[in-house]
Amino acid sequence: MRAKTSIELKEGAICFEASGCGAQGQNKYKFSLDLYSDVDPEIACRTLAREVLLTVQKVQRVWWPRLTKQKRKPVFLRADFDRWLDESDAEREEQLKDEENINKLLIESRKQSKPLDNIKRCYLFLYNLVQFLFFLHVFGSLSKSFLLNNGLTPGLLESTGQTIRLCQLLAFLEILHSAVGFVRSPILPTLFQVLGRAFVFFLVIDGQEELQNPWSALVVYYIWSAIEIFRYPFYMLGSVGFSWRPLTWARYTLWIPLYPLGVIAEGVCIWLAIPSFAQVDTYSVHLIGANLDFVYVLYAWLGLLPFGLAVNFRHLWKQRRHRLCGRKRKMP
């Protein structure tokens, strides 16, 4: 129909008038809608061959329970279900748009990736691969000794200790990775874990001329390696953009029993080492008028172990909820 239209907003109600030639000849058409809430006074109007399109924008982007203030729908009003959206549909539509935008950004970032990014990914892949192989060697050697030989084999403590020493030296790079932004891990939990293990290994286990109880050190090595043979492969695959769900589950679940066991094993190892350090002055500092005995440092460290566990536990629990449980999106 060819129509001449007039539309205006009076006290929140849309008043529409049009004259044109329709199926019943030349006629005048008009209606009034008292809308549920305020709308933008600038109403877009398009006259097409068979219809007139009116576009009305809400002042506030909120969901209305109905279109008009009156509870009863006007008899002439019909819903266009091809364009109808409820809250769940709109949320799904926004999700799809977000996912589409994320995919576009990923594609563009891959196209525009710089050579330095590829070098960083290769470096992180190789670093995590090397650490995984070292800890796998320790875990395999200790498992074989515990399960098959029913005890300590000659040279086991020395060989596994050398491998752990190399792993701990390499682990200092993880603090640098967090500091310079190579990885997204926050620096505080990384610092607690790396320095905590370094203290136990280099100062407590490696600092004794003769271990009073070699089993305590081997148990510490075993728990550390049991944690890392899942953590490092996860980061290794993640550095090249690949994820494997069973490995993700293991990475964010097995730490729940293993981390507390590791802290207990470290505490026992420190406690058993205190008599040995009490007999010598290793690491003790003698100042003018005061002595700082390393034994007191060990006691203080035992008190700090639960705090370090709480920091790492809180950080890892947040990561687990994010990775495994997901997060529900909410409409504003």
> Of 100, 266, 283, 296, which one is the catalytic site residue?
266
Beta bridge partners, 22, equal 25
The encoded tokens of residue 34 equal: 């008292």
228 annotated active-site: no
Candidates 163, 162, 188, 160; CA nearest to 174 is 188
> Of 29, 123, 259, 283, which one is the catalytic site residue?
259
Query: Which residues have a Cβ under 8 Å from the Cβ of 89 and sit 6 or more positions away?
Result: none
Q: How far from chain centre, in Å, is Cα 159?
A: 36
266 annotated active-site: yes
Burial (CB count <10 Å: 0-12, 13-18, 19+), residue 101 = exposed
Instruction: Please give the positions annotated as active site.
Output: 259, 266
